[in-house]
Structure 1
Amino acid sequence: MEKLDFLYFVGIDVSKQTFDVAILNDGNTKSFVFDNTQKGVKAFLRLLKNQHISLNNTLICMEHTGVYGNLLITKLVEVKANFCVEMSLRIVRSLGIQRGKTDKLDAIRLAQYALKHSKEMELYRPLPDVLKQVKILIKTREQLVNFKADLNKHPNEVKLFDPELGKLALKQVKKTSKCLDNEIKRIESELHALILSDEKLNKTVGLVTSVTGIGVMTALYFIIFTNFFTRYKEAKQLACYCGVVPFEHTSGSSVQKRSRVHHIANKTMKKHLHMCALSAVRHDPELKLYYERKANEGKNKMLVLNNVRNKLVLRVCAVVKRQKPYRKRVA
Structure 2
Amino acid sequence: MSVFVGIDISAKKFDLVSRVDGRASRAKQFQQTSDGHARAVDALLLLQPKLIVLEATGIYYLDLAVALAHAGLPVAVINPKSFHNFAKLTLTGSKTDAVDAALLAEYGERMSPRLWTPPDPACLGLRDLGRQINRLTATRTQAKNRLHALQSKSATMPLLLEDEQDGIDLLDQRIERLSKAALVLIAENPALSESLANIRAAKGIGEASAIAILAELCVLPQHLKAPQVSRFAGLDVRITQSGSSANKPSRLGKAGNTYLRAALFMPALCAVRHDPRAKHFYEALISRGKKKIQALCAVMRKYLTGLWACIQTKTAFNSTLLFSDEHLKG
Smaller-chain TM-score range?
0.7 to 0.9
Instruction: Output the CA distance in 2 between the equivalents of 1:220 and 1:7.
Output: 43
Instruction: Output the CA distance in 2 between the equivalents of 1:152 and 1:293.
Output: 36
Verify the 8 A CA contact 2:131 2:259 in the aligned structure 1. no
Q: Report deviation, 1:231.
A: 5.3
1:23 paired to 2:33: no
Q: Report deviation, 1:109.
A: 0.9
1:163 to 145, 150, 154: 154
Please report the TM-score for the alignment, with normalisation by the length of structure 2: 0.86
Instruction: Output the CA distance in 2 between the equivalents of 1:130 and 1:16.
Output: 24
1:101 to 89, 95, 98: 95
User: Aligned with 2:61: secondary structure?
Assistant: helix
Residue type of the alignment partner of 2:47: I
Verify the 8 A CA contact 2:265 2:300 in the aligned structure 1. yes
1:151 to 140, 143, 151: 143
**Paired position in structure 2 for 1:266:** 257
**Paired position in structure 1 for 2:245:** 254
Instruction: Output the CA distance in 2 between the equivalents of 1:283 and 1:38.
Output: 51
**Paired position in structure 2 for 1:3:** none
RMSD over aligned Cα atoms: 2.5
- Over residues 26-57 of structure 1, what are the superposed CA-to-partner deviations in whole Å (9 max), with x where a residue is unaligned? 233222222222332232233345xx422xx5
C-alpha distance 84-273 of structure 1, shift in aligned 2 (>3 A): same
C-alpha distance 314-27 of structure 1, shift in aligned 2 (>3 A): closer
User: Aligned with 1:173: secondary structure?
Assistant: helix
C-alpha distance 75-250 of structure 1, shift in aligned 2 (>3 A): closer
Instruction: Output the CA distance in 2 between the equivalents of 1:285 and 1:36.
Output: 52
**Paired position in structure 2 for 1:179:** 170
**Paired position in structure 2 for 1:44:** 40
| Runs (5+) with no aligned partner, structure 1 | 1-5
2:179 to 184, 188, 210: 188
Q: Report deviation, 1:59.
A: 1.0
User: Aligned with 2:47: secondary structure?
Assistant: coil
1:113 paired to 2:107: yes
User: Aligned with 2:194: secondary structure?
Assistant: helix
Instruction: Output the CA distance in 2 between the equivalents of 1:276 and 1:261.
Output: 19
Verify the 8 A CA contact 1:152 1:170 in the aligned structure 2. no
1:326 paired to 2:317: yes
**Paired position in structure 1 for 2:57:** 65
1:76 paired to 2:68: yes
Aligned residues: 319
Identity of aligned residues (%): 25
Please report the TM-score for the alignment, with normalisation by the length of structure 1: 0.86
